[in-house]
Structure 1
Amino acid sequence: MTVIGFHCSHEQIDPAQLLKDVQHAEQAGFTAGMSSDHFSPWSERQNESGFAWAFLGAALATTKLPFGVVNAPGQRYHPAIVAQAIATLAQMFPGRFWAALGSGEASNERITGEVWPRKEIRDQRLVECVEVIRRLLRGEEVSHDGLIQVNRARLWTLPATVPDLVGPAVTPGTAARHAAWADALITVNQPAVTLQKVLDAYRNAGGRGPARLQIHLSWAPTEGEALAIAHDQWRNNIFTPPVPWDLETVEAFDVVGQSVTPEQVAKSVRVSSDLSRHAAWLNEYIEQGWDELYLHFVGQRQAGFIDAFGQHVLPQLSPTAPAVTA
């Protein structure tokens, strides 16, 4: 019994269309939603980057789906503002919202003009941000002097129940560190051995709550078309850290992606025209122990993917809705 969610990629699709897409996804049988939160896309070919928090209010109001967002507090966003946004959505839509809090990427954070800190500093800053956000969501007045500064902040609109603050991790080490504060784990598809290490590291360190997995995939009626979509839209995203953390501009991502072949992309994106194969891949993740799967079709036109998976893939997996925490 696994949640099968629809990932909303603001870097690729304008928010008006994306709202129609997630409504379509609910009608097709997806049982949850998840949203990126970027200032810049990964490529000029993607050419979008709407404001996630405005979209989230509209998506929650016009569907019955629970939603999550992946956010980076501490530079582009002051943690008190993130806490206020979380509190407002959680108050309006009880039990339907969670937020994953990460250390961020330079391509989104550089816009403030502040120095982009080293990774260990960003990790320390994140822990401070999480503590500030959690205290604010509990209704405390918060002052803090450290890598972030907070002066007598207090939230006046609070949710009845504090929503989950989720730890995003792509390595076992990060997953283990997040276990100290996170209410749940989220990661992205990697080789099965790596995913197992990430999941085990989180659980063995005492990590609680659901394990969520975002899956990048490409489907089309033909194998060639599915691979071409993945190569066009997602070839800048196959690199391991620190490349995605530290490159600052869309133009830089397009330069490093120039020499990436379709075959290389297929190692990071689940590419197939065979819907049964996609269903088998998803079932492997379920059997590995992931509680919630969020499907990201890396193409820009979502309707065909939504219809095909709604008719032929989701029925094989019997997706369920997440448990309501309110």
Structure 2
Amino acid sequence: MTIVGFHASHEQLPPSRLLDAVKRAEQAGFDAAMCSDHLEPWSVRQGHSGYAWSWLGAALEGTRLPFGVVTAPGQRYHPAIAAQKIATLAEMYPGRFWAAIGSGEAVNEHVTGDPWPEKEERDARLVETIDVIRRLLAGEEVSTDGRVRVDRARIWSLPEVPAPLFAAAVSTETARDAAAWADGVITVDQAPDVLREVMDAYRDAGGQGPIAVQVHLSWAASNEEALAIAHDQWRQSLVPAHLAWELDRPEAFDARTADATPEQVAETLVASADTARHLDHLARIAELGVDRIFLHHVGTEQDAFIDAFGERVLPDLKGVRR
């Protein structure tokens, strides 16, 4: 059975409303949840960016759902601090927390004042970061003097079983490289052939963990409203990935997409009032063999979406044969 989760977007809602939303999602039948970990939103129009790690403690305490987070230690977060946060949540909520590690985006990492490295350098730093975190979560005292510098770090409060570390991977190259260290992969909704290539790259390189897909969508009472929501809240989806890593302010994303039309945004996600259309799209993803699907309605009003999908989408989606 495919696990169907709820994605909590810190960029779009205040943390208090997100906590209410994830509690409602559990009641509506969602199996799991995950959240973003941003310092800044993608757009000034989104207008929020709560601290994910404080929120995760409240969300884990307030529900019985397993939770994940997509995070990028290495610049904004020192890996020793990242390991401590991961270990604490895993110790408090055994078997219910995982973290997906990526190389990050300038919009969140520029705050340190350090130069934003080129992609090749960021990927090399990620490998060192993962090594540090793994060793710390294994109980080692760690010192390093490479791209990542650590002086005699040790995590004293450890869970009995370390939290799984997933890779955040959009490309086949990243998925292939992640097989060497990742306990699973989370990627984003893409064309079915591209998504299959990402999955195969991880599996063919020896990756055996779960594969999760985050799906952005827009739902409302009418097609016109669903399209308007997507255009207002999620037009940064039109920015190519290689550029999205480099833009360092929400205003830059807004300027880049100022002339985007609703129709152009609709090419990047399903925007529809028809839950059957959403179900059909999600079922095709599940049929690829995906283990977990996390749904992100890109609007700021979550209650009606949660209730509608809980009633009309989740029961059939969970039953799709992988």
Scaled by the length of structure 1, the TM-score of the pair is: 0.97
Counterpart residue number, 1:42: 42
Q: Deviations over 1:266-298 (max 9, x none)?
A: 121121111111111111111011100000000
Is residue 14 of structure 1 aligned with residue 14 of structure 2?
A: yes
**Matched residue of 1:208: which SS?**
coil
Deviation at 1:318, TM superposition (A): 3.1
Counterpart residue number, 2:189: 189
Counterpart residue number, 2:120: 120
Which moved further from structure 2: 311-320 or 55-64? 311-320
Counterpart residue number, 1:230: 230
8 Å contact from structure 1 (residues 4, 319) kept in 2: no
**Matched residue of 2:159: which SS?**
coil
Counterpart residue number, 1:309: 309
The code of the aligned residue for 2:34 comes to M
Deviation at 1:317, TM superposition (A): 2.1
**Matched residue of 1:246: which SS?**
coil
The code of the aligned residue for 1:302 comes to Q
The code of the aligned residue for 2:120 comes to E
Structure 2: runs of 5+ lacking an equivalent: none
Deviation at 1:319, TM superposition (A): 6.7
Is residue 289 of structure 1 aligned with residue 289 of structure 2?
A: yes
Is residue 248 of structure 1 aligned with residue 248 of structure 2?
A: yes
8 Å contact from structure 1 (residues 30, 319) kept in 2: no
Counterpart residue number, 1:27: 27
8 Å contact from structure 2 (residues 189, 215) kept in 1: yes
8 Å contact from structure 1 (residues 217, 295) kept in 2: yes
Counterpart residue number, 1:146: 146
Is residue 215 of structure 1 aligned with residue 215 of structure 2?
A: yes
Q: Within 2, Cα distance between the matches of 1:170 and 1:318?
A: 24
Counterpart residue number, 1:81: 81
**Matched residue of 1:38: which SS?**
coil
The code of the aligned residue for 2:287 comes to E
Q: Within 2, Cα distance between the matches of 1:237 and 1:45?
A: 14
Deviation at 1:237, TM superposition (A): 2.2
Counterpart residue number, 1:166: 166
8 Å contact from structure 2 (residues 239, 256) kept in 1: no
Is residue 266 of structure 1 aligned with residue 270 of structure 2?
A: no
Q: Within 1, Cα distance between the matches of 2:112 and 2:4?
A: 36
8 Å contact from structure 1 (residues 139, 156) kept in 2: yes
Counterpart residue number, 2:111: 111
Scaled by the length of structure 2, the TM-score of the pair is: 0.98
The code of the aligned residue for 1:70 comes to V
Q: Percent identity?
A: 58
Aligned positions, number: 320
8 Å contact from structure 1 (residues 42, 237) kept in 2: no
8 Å contact from structure 1 (residues 12, 41) kept in 2: yes
Q: Within 2, Cα distance between the matches of 1:180 and 1:64?
A: 31
Deviation at 1:238, TM superposition (A): 2.2
CA RMSD of aligned residues (A): 1.0
**Matched residue of 1:33: which SS?**
strand
Q: Within 2, Cα distance between the matches of 1:186 and 1:67?
A: 13
8 Å contact from structure 1 (residues 143, 152) kept in 2: yes
The code of the aligned residue for 1:139 comes to G
Counterpart residue number, 1:323: none
Q: 1:208 to 1:170 in 2, by over 3 A?
A: same
The code of the aligned residue for 1:257 comes to T
Q: Deviations over 1:192-246 (max 9, x none)?
A: 1110111111111111210000000001111110010001000012222221100
Q: 1:319 to 1:172 in 2, by over 3 A?
A: same
Is residue 71 of structure 1 aligned with residue 71 of structure 2?
A: yes
Counterpart residue number, 1:324: none
Which moved further from structure 2: 264-273 or 35-44? 264-273
Q: Deviations over 1:157-191 (max 9, x none)?
A: 00010111001111111110111110101000011
The code of the aligned residue for 1:288 comes to L
Q: Within 2, Cα distance between the matches of 1:4 and 1:212?
A: 10
**Matched residue of 2:221: which SS?**
coil
Q: Deviations over 1:74-131 (max 9, x none)?
A: 0000000000000000000000000000000000000000000000000000010001
Q: Within 1, Cα distance between the matches of 2:83 and 2:72?
A: 12
**Matched residue of 2:245: which SS?**
helix
Q: Within 1, Cα distance between the matches of 2:44 and 2:11?
A: 10
The code of the aligned residue for 1:287 comes to E
Deviation at 1:7, TM superposition (A): 0.2
Q: Within 1, Cα distance between the matches of 2:80 and 2:14?
A: 27
